[in-house]
Every structure is written in C-alpha cells, then in structure tokens.
Amino acid sequence: RGEIDAICRKNALQDGPALLFENIRGYPGWRCLKESLTARRRMAWAVNIDDPKGFVRRMASKIERQVPPVQVETGPVKEIKIIGEDVDLIKFPFPIAGAFEVTPNVNGAVHTCKDPETGWQNVSIRRLGVKSERHGTTYLTRTQQDSIIYGIWRKRGEPMPCAYVIGADPVLELVSQLKAPMGYCEYDFWGAITGRPLEVVKCETSDLFVPAHAEIVIEGEVPVDERELDTPYQEAWGYHCGCSVTPKFIVKCITMRRDAIYRDISSGWVPNETHRMGGAMAAVSVLRELQKEFPGVIDVNALAMGISLIVIQVEKSATKVWPGLAKYLGSITIFKIVPYCRTVVVVDEDTDIYNLEDIFFALANKFLPSKDMTVFEHIGGVGMLNPVEAWGDGYHTTEAIILDCTEPPPPYDGGYKRGIAKPTEKILRMVEEEWNKYGFKE
C-alpha cells in the first residue's frame, strides 16, 4: 500500500525513467506501467520533438491541422470480452497511494463520453473510484466538459454512456489534457500530431468509439440520479479531498488485450505524472490560443500544480506599446482557456520561463504590487479538489491573480535600458563553445 507511488515520486525527483512494475503482490501475472510521461523529454519523444525545451511551441503548431479518427472492425483491445455478471473490477492491480485512500481508484484512465444532441465525443483523463466488482464513483467537476455533457443527459432523463480507457498510447494521453473549446474531439488532435487517423472501434454496449490498440476498456453508464459516497483521494492539488457524494458508475462490459499491461498515473504530492503532463499540455493550450489573438506571445510554461500557475513570455516591444497587455493575457488564460488556473505571471523575453531563479529575478526586480497586481475575487472554483477555497467564500468559489513582471512603460523604464548586467552575447557564446577547453566537464 503506497509503495509503488512512493517509488514513483522518488524516481520523479531524480528525473528517472519510465517504470514497469512486475511481480505485484496479490496480482500474479499483472504488470503496471507508471511514469511514462513524467519527464518532458519523454513527452517530446512521444510526439517526435527533438528539443524538450521547445515542446510547448512545437506542440502548439502541430495540433492546428486535425485529422479525424477512422473506425475499424476490431483491434487488440477486443481480444478478451467480459460482459454482464462476469465483470470484475477488483482483479485489476490498483496502486493505492494516499495514506487516507480508503477504496482503490482507476487513476489516469482516458475517459470518453458523447453529447447526445450534437454527437461530439469528449476525451479527458478521469479517475474511477472502485466500490465493487461492477460499480464505482466518477468525480465530475462542474467546470469540465464531461460534467456539462452529463448535465445534458440528466435533462433528457437518460443515463450517460461512457468508457474508461486504460493504457491508451502516450499521444492520446497527452492530447486528452488539451484545454480545447467545446465541440473539439481529442481524437482529431491525435491525428494532427501523428499525421494519420487514430484507429477506433465501437464499444460493445454503446455507440462510443475507443482506441483499437488500447490495453483495457471499461464500458458503462452514469445513471441520472444515483449517487455514491466518494472517499478521500490524493487529488491533483496535492492534498486528500474529503468525502463527497458523487455520481455512480455502473460497469457493463470490459474488453482488453490477452496480455494487457495496467497503466496508472500518479497524482497528489508533487512532482508526479499528473502535474507534469497536465501542466505541459495546459501550456500548449494557452500558447495556441493566445498566439491566435496576439503574436507577441513567445512561449508559455506551467509551474506548481501544473495548471494552477502559468508563466507567459512576451516580446518586450509589445509591453512597451501596450501597458495593459499582461492583464489582458492573464484574463484570457484564467477565464477562457484554463478554468483551473489561479496565478498568471507575465514576463519579458529576457526571462527564461524554464528557470525558476530567472522568474523570481523578474518578480523581485520588475514587479510593483500597487501597480502590477490584478486580483479577481468571487470566481468559479473546483470544490474540494482545491482546499484553499474553504478559506474564502467556501468551496466552488475562489480567487485568481495576475502578476505583471515585465519592464515598466516609458518614462519609467530608465533603469532597464542597458539590459540585464552581464557579459556581451558574443562572450557568452564563446564561453559555451570553449567550455571543455577550460578543463570543465559537461
């Protein structure tokens, strides 16, 4: 209990490799894959990007030309079919991570559901609380698109069909974290990145489509008004959420490969795969949307919980002619692109947004609280997922902040006109080229 996730966190702190666990106690024959997308370099490998530091910029350009999926008759995920009374969730090797986690959870499965009115199929990553062999709980946050779709089904008085895909390929796991507008199917973004359509198969019990080459698919439905007690879980904000009454999920069918590998994604205490992967794709979403309206945005990085604190890098010339640019960009990020985001920091092009020391340098030397801070109060929150909301107006209501850490506009920028105090670019390049000749080792 907790051993696998404790190993994963130490591995993440050391920027270690992906981990395949074998010989799992109590689950003979099962293997469990963890940490495959914790490191930025592995995210880059998965989408054929050679420079991990350029991952966000390259991904933002890759997803522009979507390619819809193609239906095939069958695939490896259909090799075994378990239907009805034979279904048994308990046989899967769920790693229990948090000290207060009471019931096991399917962590990080790709969840999919469909708008019954438009046919739009949404893809995201969700957890499934396992309550028995054939049912569980599904936590739907009201700011998310799958929760909106569930609301449509409830108005119709019908249960919502959905599926949990365990062991989708890394590209689909990444694009499932995009903050795309309503109506966009993440399967199309998979096609944009790979240059070919994703092969999908029809579910056994609904008209949903799932990846043909996945490891495991759990099919079922969320009834209109049936609820279950959801127990504490190590949530993405790094703390255990409390008990809550959440929608019930009824399992109808499981399909899987003959020798399926169980895929699990760690959450809770940072750093972990949820934070790293979710943050990287949140940054991609922000950069993609902001550059459509303002080409002066250079790059975006996500820190802290991954999507709670976002740093935006802009051209210095842009902030000089538009003093309110930081507030404008931050507002779009918080209210339009990433509803979970609570802090936006805007910096100049001479701040390395992948270097914490550089970011704090900008905060210390370019930020004046009385002029450069914008606070939004009484905005929509995420509930018990984020414990700080209780300190304000209660759960589901929160606050957000924008910190403008760019140089002040004229005539108040005199102290910055000579630039950061450092050697010339020519000398810096020379030192980089001659480094090994000085006797240093890389």
Virtual CA dihedral for 152, 174, 37, 201, nearest 10 degrees? 80
pLDDT for 390-408, tens place per residue?
887 777 788 999 999 999 9
Tell me the domains of the chain and their CATH numbers. Answer: 18-263 (2.30.110.10), 294-409 (3.40.1670.10)
Strands (E), 337-425: 343-348, 373-380, 397-405
The letter for the amino acid at 60 is A
Candidates 234, 324, 321, 242; CA nearest to 273 is 234
- Taking the C-alpha atoms of residue 59 and residue 71, their distance in angstroms, rounded to an integer, is 25
pLDDT in tens, the chain (442 residues): 678 888 998 999 998 999 999 988 889 999 999 999 999 999 999 999 999 999 999 999 999 889 999 999 999 999 999 998 899 999 999 887 777 777 888 988 999 999 999 999 999 999 899 999 999 999 887 778 999 999 999 999 999 999 999 999 999 999 999 988 889 999 999 999 999 999 999 999 999 999 999 999 999 999 999 998 887 787 777 787 778 888 999 999 999 999 999 999 988 888 888 889 999 999 999 999 999 989 899 999 998 655 689 999 999 999 888 889 999 999 999 999 988 889 999 999 999 999 999 999 999 999 999 999 999 998 887 766 777 878 877 777 889 999 999 999 888 888 888 888 899 999 999 999 999 999 987 6
Query: Two tokens at 302?
Result: 């996500």
Reply yes or no: is the peptide bond before residue 408 cis, omega within 30 of 0.
no
pLDDT for 328-375, tens place per residue?
999 999 999 988 889 999 999 999 999 999 999 999 999 999 999 999
DSSP-based helix, strand, coil % in the chain, nearest 5 = 35, 25, 40
Print the SS3 string covering 262-305: EECCCCCCCCCHHHHHHHHHHHHHHHHHHHHHCCCEEEEEEECC
**DSSP states along 197-266:** PPEEEE-SSSS-EEETT-SEEEEEEE-SS-EEEEPP-B-TTSSB---EEEEEEEEEEEEE-TTPPEE---
